[in-house]
Amino acid sequence: MAFDGITVSNIVYELNKTLSDGRISKIAQPEKDELQLTVKASGRTNYRLMISANASLPLIYITDENKPSPLNAPGFCMLLRKHLSGAKIISVTQFGMERVINFELEHLDELGDLCRKFLIVELMGKHSNIIFCEKADDKLRIIDSIKRINCFVSSVREVLPGRDYFIPNTMDKYNPLEFDNEIMAHIIEKPANLQKAIYTTLTGFSPIAAHEICERAGVNGDVSADSLDNDGKLKLYSAIDSFISDIKSNIYNPNIVYDGDRPVEFGVFDMTCYSGLNVRKFDTVSEMLISYYSEKNNHTRINQKSSDLRRIVSTALERNRKKLDLQLRQFKDTEKRDKYKVYGELLTTYGYSAAKGDKELICNNYYTGEEIKIPLNSELSPIDNAKKYFDRYSKLKRTYEALKIQIEETKTEIDHLESISNSLDIATILGDLNIIKEEMIASGYIRRSFSRKKQQKTPASKPLHYISSDGFDIYVGKNNYQNDELTFGNQSPGDWWFHSKGIAGSHVVLKSAGREITDRAFEEAASLAAYYSKGRDSGRVEIDYTELKNVKKPKGSKPGFVVYYTNYSMVAPSSISNLKEISD
């Protein structure tokens, strides 16, 4: 997550462009560490500015959402309303490249005189704060803050009414906007690796920004900074200088990098270090932040909600794998059954030649023509020995036939559980989890609970829909019920079916729509089957594909289980960066 000084510089640029000369019409404090300002800007347009000093997620962005406020406004909110209602935003600036934003505000005091105040937003993790200041003796003096910090909390700086405002020392970092040869020398003299040397030298630079600079310079960010040769130093200097030049010129490109549908990282610059992954671009940094954190929160919430289901599946998988291991060992023991049958038949034929008390009988095996040695119980007659071998054969045969069925059932159970596990991995909304839970209830892994509590409505779960580069529709099932629906619900002539070979995965259907399907569409559908399978982390997955009409569902089989006897195979990369997902 790259909420660094570079992202803040883009936010400041956006706020200046949007809110400059606007007037604050409403001030609310929805949470104890959060402000919401309504600003009437040029063109009489109202903008809502959300400012959060939350220690775990400090943010500032323009939004359409109007969060409800408490009935009784907190003291800090009342203070701001007293001073800043109707105040004009003169400018929005950033202190160097720090994660600190300064709103310069003009308003009328009680006597009607024009005066200026400053609302300073510090977005620094657990040290985040919103501080209201005034100018006094050429210094900023604190009027109040959303979080009061006394000497018992911080020995570095008190944030209390009447104290002077200052930004603490940033560990001897340099302002990147003043980048020159001297600052470059400090970077390459550091004993740390090159990537770390960059972000520990330049204020406001995050590890991802340092990584991107190394990528653009074509140098290895993991090597020691002081081991860089002259050519590498020149390339690095040029990359940093170009990067900072874009910031000075307000050239930003808000975007989010996705691994499939999972947001990986956001930034306000092109992240070439994530080549091969999907990139979604945004018009404003506010839109990017809202989208990233809402999607990230959604993924976190889905993972939390699915944890109980995952635990049940994991326990059932472990139990069934142990059962299969035991069954396979028992099955191996049944391989001796035919030997005991032959012993019994040979004793029935040649038993007359064995004397009383013999411990073995050597005779000709008429099945192979070779001599064979048969162990005997000396206390039993040859006929009784033969009967004992026939009994052992019958028992092992019954065990063999029973185990054959049991092993097949256990393997089917494991495959089914693996498919449920894969469905949990690709679930994106609560509706997906509800369908998976229903399947687990129907399969007996969970007991159905009856509650009088009104169930909250959740979004309907639908298969994923992609458009290939050549314009073909490709659908991906997110769970076993959707897999069955896709495969058998709406077949058309010329449609093709894809699935990962030998491992759990989604059913993928490529719709022909009456056209001849291109090789590229086949490859992209196979990539989707690879990506939405248990083998996605291996990079390349073997995929079976066949015409949809060749796929059959055995009677009474579990959801998602199919058979096919005519198919082709290809090895596909588990990357879908070139495919466009459609929201149906």
Tell me what the mean pLDDT of segment 349-374 comes to. 88
Pick the CATH number of 5-145 from 2.30.310.10, 1.10.3210.10, 3.40.50.1010, 3.40.50.300: 2.30.310.10
Q: How confident is the model at residue 455 (pLDDT cuts 50, 70, 90)?
A: low
| pLDDT reported for residue 458 | 52
Q: How confident is the model at residue 258 (pLDDT cuts 50, 70, 90)?
A: confident
Distances (CA, A) of 460 to 423, 433, 439: 16, 11, 16
pLDDT digits over 426-440, tens only? 888 888 898 999 999
Cβ density class 95-114: b for 16+ within 10 Å, e for less: bbbbbbbbbbbbbeeeeeee
Tell me what the mean pLDDT of segment 413-421 comes to. 93
Q: How confident is the model at residue 294 (pLDDT cuts 50, 70, 90)?
A: confident
User: HEC states along 340-361?
Assistant: HHHHHHHHHHHHHHCCCCCCEE
| pLDDT reported for residue 562 | 94
| pLDDT reported for residue 1 | 55
Question: Does residue 42 register a pLDDT over 90?
Answer: no
Q: How confident is the model at residue 317 (pLDDT cuts 50, 70, 90)?
A: very high
Distances (CA, A) of 129 to 58, 132, 186: 9, 10, 31
Instruction: Pinpoint the residues of the chain covered by CATH 1.10.8.
Output: 176-302
| pLDDT reported for residue 583 | 67
Tell me what the mean pLDDT of segment 572-577 comes to. 82
> What DSSP string describes 505-545?
B--EEE--TTSPPPHHHHHHHHHHHHHTBTTGGGSEEEEEE
Q: Minimum mean pLDDT among 228-237, 296-305, 317-326, 399-408: which range?
A: 296-305
Tell me what the mean pLDDT of segment 197-215 comes to. 93
Cβ of 33: how many Cβ atoms within 10 Å?
Answer: 18
| pLDDT reported for residue 393 | 93
Question: Does residue 15 register a pLDDT over 90?
Answer: yes
Q: How confident is the model at residue 453 (pLDDT cuts 50, 70, 90)?
A: low
Give the CA count within 13 Å in the CB-facing half-sphere of 204: 25
| pLDDT reported for residue 402 | 95
The residue among 72, 71, 51 whose CA lies nearest residue 60 is 51
What's the token pair of residue 65? 């959402």
Tell me how far apart the alpha carbons of residues 184 and 76 are, in angstroms, rounded to a whole number.
44
Tell me what the mean pLDDT of segment 522-547 comes to. 92
> Is domain 176-302 annotated with CATH 3.40.50?
no
Tell me what the mean pLDDT of segment 502-522 comes to. 93
What's the token pair of residue 133? 């200041």
Instruction: Pinpoint the residues of the chain covered by CATH 2.30.310.10.
Output: 5-145
Tell me what the mean pLDDT of segment 31-45 comes to. 88
| pLDDT reported for residue 181 | 93
Is the C-alpha dihedral spanning 359, 363, 366, 369 positive or negative? positive
Q: Which residue has the tokens 């693996």?
A: 418
Tell me what the mean pLDDT of segment 130-149 comes to. 93
3-class state of residue 63 by DSSP? strand
Strand order, beta sheet including 262-267: 262-267, 255-259, 278-281
Q: How confident is the model at residue 543 (pLDDT cuts 50, 70, 90)?
A: very high
Helix axes 5-19, 285-305, angle to 10 degrees: 120
Tell me what the mean pLDDT of segment 439-447 comes to. 90
Question: Does residue 289 register a pLDDT over 70?
Answer: yes
Q: How confident is the model at residue 5 (pLDDT cuts 50, 70, 90)?
A: very high
Question: Does residue 512 register a pLDDT over 60?
Answer: yes
Question: Does residue 152 register a pLDDT over 90?
Answer: no
Tell me what the mean pLDDT of segment 554-583 comes to. 87
Tell me what the mean pLDDT of segment 351-371 comes to. 87
Question: Does residue 457 register a pLDDT over 70?
Answer: no
Question: Does residue 53 register a pLDDT over 90?
Answer: yes
% the chain with pLDDT above 70: 96
Tell me what the mean pLDDT of segment 298-317 comes to. 87
Q: Minimum mean pLDDT among 81-90, 97-106, 209-218, 291-300: which range?
A: 291-300
CB 382, CB 376: distance < 8 Å? yes
Tell me how far apart the alpha carbons of residues 481 and 431 are, in angstroms, rounded to a whole number.
13
| pLDDT reported for residue 296 | 81
Distances (CA, A) of 35 to 74, 141, 206, 280, 496: 11, 21, 26, 29, 54
Tell me how far apart the alpha carbons of residues 206 and 536 are, in angstroms, rounded to a whole number.
29
Q: Which residue has the tokens 């006897």?
A: 565
| pLDDT reported for residue 454 | 52
The residue among 408, 427, 409 whose CA lies nearest residue 506 is 427
| pLDDT reported for residue 295 | 83
Tell me what the mean pLDDT of segment 228-256 comes to. 94
Q: Is the pTM of this model over 0.75?
A: no
Mean pLDDT of the chain: 90
Backbone dihedral region for residue 350 (phi beyond 0: left; psi -120 to 50: alpha; all else: beta): alpha
Question: Does residue 497 register a pLDDT over 60?
Answer: yes
Beta-bridge partners for 377: none
Q: Is 415 exposed, middle or buried (0-12, 13-18, 19+ CB in 10 A)?
A: middle
Those residues with Cβ within 8 angstroms of residue 584's Cβ, 6 or more apart along the chain or in another chain:
462, 465
